């Protein structure tokens, strides 16, 4: 009798829990691989040659078998270990994902989260050959990474398609190489474009995902999404699920954006990010009525950075950007994606609406320091990154507003850095280092290079009275 009552109570408790429990939404970073272009001994083996765009607007359903057979040799399994104490897979910090070969000489694109903080990376090809890989560069703002393996033979690689040309409803294939399953191929359609799911972090994060219903499961992160001709149109990165398993929502980084990012990583070791120099917001129904817009779309400019390309080009607050180089920017993710295709020093045509009228202007993109110079793995940048902040020179108008003759603006502060421990906030204006005046980023770097031990930064905030001081210690030179 007692046993029966206990069983009934247990069943009722579980049923009640299931009834009242709220459904959970889980974001899992996952992805899928793609197909490769056939090669021969006379083929150009460079990434640059491989990043050619298809001149066909979209692909119609064809024989999936042909595309799948062409794709799978260019998809690899990646196993990474972040443990320095174990030299075997499966120890602390081990992870597994997929990757896509993008050149015959062994460059492979994958997700940053697959190889992040890794001490060892092992790549297994579709023919079971294993290679140790080195990291060429990573970009947490797009969750992409470029790694490389050395092979005595030319490798099968994937041909890039034009991700801008794919259409909602178009058939796509997802190909992965998860551990223990070897190559897997699934099919689905493009469900949406320009999706943002708030999975990435950072001030300059870019989320303009291609959403598909092609099945993606754990182990496929860093693989590829391809059209029915087998051309790479995306690097699959995440799924949305309430159960922890695939439920029909997969997200891929557009191939056009991936191509630009990996070219930067290969050539410079870091991403060359061109910036318009604007603060942006979505266009709401209320704002559209206020500005006299015919449609509730476009990207609203809420702020202009003094001295930026947007400022120089005459863009103003409350302008609504509707295209960049003729590519529609109906929402923030689309604008971020289009601008991210270009480097500092490039000029883009921006179409916008002001007071109900359309206009076009040419904007010279700049970097985060408000210059057009390209960055690289220079000693100067390494110093600033090691300390933990990004800097730029003040514009003339900012100097007048702050009532100072010179100084350097702190653009952002890195998490876990020396600067973060001082509790410094972005928008701090550095005027002195160890009581020596500094007016440019170069002068800040010069003083930091010649300093070891305690460093005292003196400066001001534009909207707060008085001077502020922040101290930290430099490692000996």
Tell me the DSSP string of 403-423: T-S--EEEEEE-TTSHHHHTT
Q: Which residue, chain included where needed, has tokens 């202009």?
A: 304
Pick from 258, 262, 260: nearest CA to 237: 258
Token pair for residue 32?
A: 């899928």
Residue pair 321/347 in contact (Cβ under 8 Å)? The answer is no
Neighbours of 471 (CB within 10 A): 12
Rg (CA), the chain: 25
Token pair for residue 119?
A: 């001490």
Tell me the DSSP string of 232-272: EEEEEEEEEESSSS--S-EEEEEHHHHHHHHHHHHHHSS--
- How far apart, in Å, do the first and last CA atoms of the chain sit? 79
Interatomic CA distance for residues 437 and 428, integer angstroms: 15
Which DSSP symbol is given to 73? G
Interatomic CA distance for residues 262 and 171, integer angstroms: 26
Interatomic CA distance for residues 52 and 205, integer angstroms: 26
| 113 carries an active-site annotation | yes
Marked catalytic residue, from 58, 80, 81, 113: 113
Query: Please, which residues have CB within 8 angstroms of residue 450's CB and are 6 or more apart in sequence?
Result: none
Query: Please, which residues have CB within 8 angstroms of residue 289's CB and are 6 or more apart in sequence?
Result: none
Give the strand pairing for 389-393 and 408-413.
antiparallel
| 405 carries an active-site annotation | no
Give the strand pairing for 250-254 and 232-241.
antiparallel
Marked catalytic residue, from 103, 221, 308, 375: 221
Query: Please, which residues have CB within 8 angstroms of residue 403's CB and are 6 or more apart in sequence?
Result: none
Run of H or E including 383: helix 379-387
| 143 carries an active-site annotation | yes
Query: Please, which residues have CB within 8 angstroms of residue 271's CB and are 6 or more apart in sequence?
Result: 137, 139, 141, 142, 261, 264, 265
Beta-bridge mates of residue 351? 323, 360
Just list the catalytic residues. 113, 143, 221
């Amino acid at each position: 009798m007692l046993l029966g009552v206990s069983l009934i109570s247990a069943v009722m408790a579980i049923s009640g829990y299931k009834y009242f429990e709220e459904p959970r939404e889980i974001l899992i970073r996952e992805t899928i691989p793609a197909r490769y272009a056939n090669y021969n001994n006379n083929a150009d083996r460079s990434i640059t040659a491989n990043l050619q765009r298809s001149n066909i607007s979209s692909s119609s359903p064809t024989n999936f078998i042909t595309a799948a057979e062409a794709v799978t040799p260019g998809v690899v399994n990646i196993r990474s270990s972040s443990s320095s104490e174990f030299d075997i897979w499966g120890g602390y910090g081990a992870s597994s994902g997929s990757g896509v070969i993008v050149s015959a000489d062994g460059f492979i694109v994958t997700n940053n989260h697959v190889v992040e903080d890794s001490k060892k990376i092992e790549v297994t090809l579709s023919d079971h050959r294993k290679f140790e890989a080195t990291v060429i560069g990573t970009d947490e703002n797009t969750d992409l990474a470029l790694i490389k393996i050395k092979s005595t033979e030319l490798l099968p690689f994937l041909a890039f398609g034009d991700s801008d040309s794919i259409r909602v409803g178009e058939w796509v294939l997802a190909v992965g190489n998860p551990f223990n399953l070897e190559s897997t191929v699934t099919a689905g359609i493009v469900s949406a474009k320009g999706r943002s799911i708030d999975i990435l972090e950072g001030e300059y994060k870019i989320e303009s995902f291609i959403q598909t219903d092609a099945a993606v499961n754990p182990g496929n992160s860093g693989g590829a999404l391809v059209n029915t001709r087998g051309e790479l149109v995306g690097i699959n990165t995440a799924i949305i699920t309430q159960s922890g398993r695939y439920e029909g929502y997969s997200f891929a980084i557009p191939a056009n954006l991936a191509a630009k990012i990996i070219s930067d990583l290969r050539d410079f070791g870091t991403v060359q990010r061109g910036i318009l120099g604007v603060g942006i917001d979505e266009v709401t129904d209320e704002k559209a009525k206020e500005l006299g817009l015919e449609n509730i779309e476009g990207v609203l400019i809420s702020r202009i950075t003094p001295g930026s390309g947007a400022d120089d080009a005459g863009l103003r607050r409350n302008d609504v950007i509707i295209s960049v180089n003729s590519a529609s920017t109906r929402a923030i993710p689309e604008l971020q994606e289009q601008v991210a295709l270009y480097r500092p020093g490039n000029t883009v045509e921006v179409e916008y609406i002001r007071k109900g009228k359309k206009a076009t202007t040419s904007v010279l993109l700049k970097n985060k320091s408000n210059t057009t110079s390209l960055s690289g793995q220079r000693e100067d940048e390494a110093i600033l990154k090691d300390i933990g902040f990004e800097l730029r020179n003040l514009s003339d108008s900012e100097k007048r507003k702050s009532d100072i003759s010179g100084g350097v603006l702190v653009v952002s502060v890195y998490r876990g850095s020396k600067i973060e421990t001082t509790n410094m906030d972005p928008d701090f204006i550095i005027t002195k280092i160890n009581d020596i005046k500094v007016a440019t980023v170069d002068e800040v770097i010069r003083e930091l290079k010649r300093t070891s031990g305690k460093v005292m930064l003196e400066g001001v905030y534009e909207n707060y009275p008085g001077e502020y001081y922040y101290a930290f210690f430099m490692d000996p030179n």
